[in-house]
Amino acid sequence: MTVEHELQGDVVLLTGMSGGGKSVAMHALEDAGYFCVDNLPAELLLDFLSLEQQRGERRVAIAVDVRSAGSLPLMLPLLKDLRGQGVAVRSIFLDANNDALVRRFSETRRPHPLRMDRDTSFGSLEAGAEDGHRVLLEAIQLERELLGGLKAESTVIDTSQLRPAQLRAWLADLVGPNAGSKLTLVFESFAFKHGVPSDADFVFDVRVLPNPYYDRELRPLTGRDAPVAAYLAAQPEVGLMMGQIAGFLSRWLPNFAADQRSYLTVAIGCTGGQHRSVYLVEMLVRQFSHHGHVLKRHRELDAR
């Protein structure tokens, strides 16, 4: 069975790690007007989309995770087949590092869906439950392996450091009215002391640039404030670094677009994610505004 090219409604395939934020994301999509279906078996995907086509234009979000482990091998070929037919399916993968996933299972006390037997609770991480902790990490690793193919075909959002409100906002940007088939370019500032975003395609370290933090008057401000911007704009090294980053992206963006990439994340990091990285992201977003769908994120500032 095939789905015809004239399918008009948006189709979002939401997948990712257990504990990665799928429930928050599904609620956000529902609030955005999507008809959401959770844990749909791959065997029913084409029939479901065909039925939706008959009903008329409607935005649809389908969540798939390891609870349907038996049908996961079918999902990747189906996704490629749908895209080959011209159906615009946006696949979004919610990821998080192991520490964040372990912490979330500990806080919610819920079992991991890949538990090896009915007597072992992967969510039980109380003092002395070393075996439970070890088995939880094994389950997370197994889940990563099972979902590796889908992740490679998806837009990845690293939720390790994100609050629910941030995830909802970032997801709204991804599926908003300006999001289309053209390559989406994302600039994200971050603090190295809180870790590098795992969803970054390119990471630029700007910690070598002059730091406004050491100016007492600039310290409480951010790279979005005029005094900080003026300070950094006056530093030759800053202009040189920004020009080299922009030159690299300008040279290679057409190649990424030609490779049918739908999403490219450029992460700019400094020590605290407050001054230098924020300023460069703001400037780069302005410089590449002509590109089309350009998003900006300030991971540390957005979390305040």
298, β-bridge pairs:
189
Instruction: Pick out the residues of the known binding site for ATP.
Output: 16-23
Instruction: Pick out the residues of the known binding site for GTP.
Output: 65-68
Strand spans (E) along the chain = 11-16, 35-38, 60-63, 89-95, 155-158, 184-191, 202-205, 263-270, 294-298
Instruction: Pick out the residues of the known binding site.
Output: 16-23, 65-68
Q: Which of 56, 101, 83, 69 is nearest to 2 (CA)?
A: 83
Q: List Cβ<8 Å contacts ≥24 apart for 164-172.
A: 164/21, 164/24, 166/299, 166/302, 166/303, 167/21, 167/24, 167/25, 167/28, 167/94, 168/24, 168/25, 168/27, 168/28, 168/31, 169/302, 170/297, 171/25, 171/28, 171/29, 171/92, 172/28, 172/32
